[in-house]
C-alpha cells in the first residue's frame, strides 16, 4: 500500500472518510423526515456562496458557510409558513444555482475554481483544508450526539414530539443548520453536488439490513466511511475522479444490501405465520 505514504492521498483519505462517516449520521434524520433532497438544495446555495466569496475576495469556505446558514434560516421560515416542503426547497435550490452562476461569471478568473468545487478535488487538498473539514465534522458529531434523543423523537413523529415537550421549532432549525455544515464541510473533498449523496445513499443501504434506528445510523456511517476509502483507492488505481468513485461504491453497497435483504426474506416468507 505504497499509495498510503503519499501525502495527497493521506489528506484525501482523512477528509473523505471523515465527511462520509459523519454525513449519514445527519442523513438518518433527514431521510426519516422525508427530506432527502435538503442536502442537495444546500449544495446549490453553497455554490452561490462560493461564487460570492470569489466575487468579494474572501475564502470560499466563509462564503459557502454564510449563505448556507442564511438558506437554512430561509428554508425553516418558508417551511413553517405553510409552503409545501418540496416547494420551499425548490425555491432555495433554483435561487442558489442562479445566483451562483451569476456570481461566478462576474468573478472573472474565479469561474473555473467555482465550477471545480461542484465535484470536489480531494487529491488537491491542503492540510489546512483537511483541518477545516475535520473541525466542521466534529461540530456536527457533537450536535448529533447531544441532540440524539430529541432528534429521534422529531424524526419519528413531529406532533408527538411536540406534545412530549420537545422544542420542535428550534430543533428543526438546528437540523437544517447541521445539514448546511455537512455540505460546506464536504465541498472540497466530495463537491457541492455529490456531498449530499453521502447523506442519503449509505442510509438507504443500511436500512435494507438493519433492524433498529440506532443500528441503521451506525451501519450507515460505516458504509459511508468504507465507501470513501474504497472509492478513493479505486479512483487512484483507475485514474478516475474521487467523488464519483466514492458515490458509485456507496450505490454498489446499496445494491448489495438489497440483495442481502431479499435473500434473508425468501426462506422466512415461505415458512412464516402472521402473528
Partner 1 sequence: MTAAVALELDAVGFGYGRDAVLHDADLRVREGELVAVVGANGAGKTTMLKLALGLLAPTSGVVRLFGTPVASFRDWQRVGYVPQRAAAASVLPVSVDEVVRSGLAGALGLWRRPDAAQRARIAHVLDLLGLAAVRAAPVATLSGGQQQRALIARALVTAPRLLVLDEPTTGVDAAARATLRASLEHLVHDEHVAVVYSSHDPHALRGLADRVVEVRDGGLHDVAPAAAPAPGGGR
Q: Which residues bind partner 1 (CB under 8 A)?
A: 28, 31-32, 34, 145-147, 149-150, 152-154, 156-157, 159-166, 203, 207, 210-216, 274-275
Distances (CA, A) of 267 to 132, 206, 253, 261, 273: 49, 21, 23, 11, 12
What's the closest the beta carbon of residue 165 comes to partner 1, in angstroms?
3
What's the closest the beta carbon of residue 146 comes to partner 1, in angstroms?
5
User: Which residue lies nearer to partner 1 by CB, 108 or 267?
Assistant: 267
What's the closest the beta carbon of residue 223 comes to partner 1, in angstroms?
14
Find, among 155, 274, 191, 169, the residue nearest to 15 by Cα: 191
What's the closest the beta carbon of residue 100 comes to partner 1, in angstroms?
30
What's the closest the beta carbon of residue 272 comes to partner 1, in angstroms?
10
What is 233-269 written as a DSSP string? HHHHHHT--HHHHHHHHHHHHHHHHHHHHHHHHHHHH
User: Which residue lies nearer to partner 1 by CB, 118 or 166?
Assistant: 166
What's the closest the beta carbon of residue 109 comes to partner 1, in angstroms?
45
Residue 195 three-state SS:
coil
User: Which residue lies nearer to partner 1 by CB, 14 or 207?
Assistant: 207
User: Which residue lies nearer to partner 1 by CB, 184 or 221?
Assistant: 221
Q: How far apart (Å, rounded) are the C-alpha atoms in residues 178 and 175?
A: 5
User: Which residue lies nearer to partner 1 by CB, 4 or 145?
Assistant: 145
What's the closest the beta carbon of residue 120 comes to partner 1, in angstroms?
27
Find, among 132, 185, 155, 131, the residue nearest to 23 by Cα: 185
Q: How far apart (Å, rounded) are the C-alpha atoms in residues 122 and 119?
A: 9
Find, among 137, 109, 115, the residue nearest to 50 by Cα: 115
User: Which residue lies nearer to partner 1 by CB, 71 or 166?
Assistant: 166
Radius of gyration of the chain (CA): 19
User: Which residue lies nearer to partner 1 by CB, 119 or 148?
Assistant: 148
Find, among 218, 203, 210, 209, the residue nearest to 27 by Cα: 203
| Cell numbers 425548490: residue | 90
Burial 75-85 (b: 16+ CB within 10 A, else e): bbebbeeeeee
Amino acid at each position: 500500500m505504497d499509495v498510503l505514504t503519499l501525502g495527497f492521498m493521506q489528506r484525501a483519505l482523512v477528509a473523505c472518510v471523515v465527511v462520509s462517516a459523519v454525513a449519514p449520521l445527519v442523513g438518518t434524520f433527514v431521510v426519516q423526515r422525508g427530506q432527502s433532497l435538503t442536502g442537495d438544495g444546500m449544495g446549490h446555495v453553497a455554490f452561490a456562496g462560493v461564487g460570492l466569496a470569489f466575487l468579494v475576495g474572501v475564502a470560499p469556505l466563509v462564503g459557502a458557510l454564510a449563505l448556507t446558514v442564511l438558506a437554512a434560516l430561509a428554508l425553516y421560515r418558508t417551511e413553517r409558513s405553510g409552503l409545501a416542503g418540496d416547494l420551499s426547497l425548490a425555491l432555495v435550490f433554483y435561487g442558489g444555482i442562479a445566483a451562483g452562476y451569476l456570481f461566478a461569471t462576474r468573478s472573472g478568473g474565479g469561474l473555473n475554481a467555482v465550477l471545480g468545487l461542484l465535484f470536489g478535488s480531494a487529491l488537491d487538498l491542503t492540510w489546512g483544508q483537511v483541518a477545516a473539514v475535520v473541525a466542521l465534522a466534529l461540530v456536527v458529531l457533537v450536535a448529533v450526539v447531544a441532540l440524539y434523543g430529541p432528534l429521534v423523537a422529531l424524526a419519528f413523529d413531529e406532533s408527538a414530539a411536540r406534545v412530549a415537550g420537545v422544542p420542535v421549532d428550534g430543533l428543526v432549525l438546528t437540523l437544517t443548520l447541521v445539514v448546511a455544515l455537512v455540505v460546506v464541510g464536504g465541498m472540497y473533498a466530495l463537491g457541492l453536488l455529490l456531498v449530499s449523496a453521502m447523506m442519503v445513499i449509505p442510509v438507504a443501504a443500511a436500512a435494507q439490513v438493519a433492524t433498529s434506528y440506532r443500528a441503521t445510523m451506525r451501519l450507515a456511517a460505516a458504509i459511508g466511511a468504507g465507501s470513501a476509502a474504497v472509492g478513493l483507492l479505486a479512483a487512484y488505481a483507475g485514474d478516475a475522479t474521487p467523488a464519483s468513485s466514492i458515490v458509485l461504491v456507496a450505490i454498489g453497497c446499496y445494491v448489495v444490501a438489497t440483495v442481502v435483504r431479499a435473500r434473508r426474506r425468501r426462506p422466512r416468507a415461505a415458512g412464516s405465520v402472521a402473528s
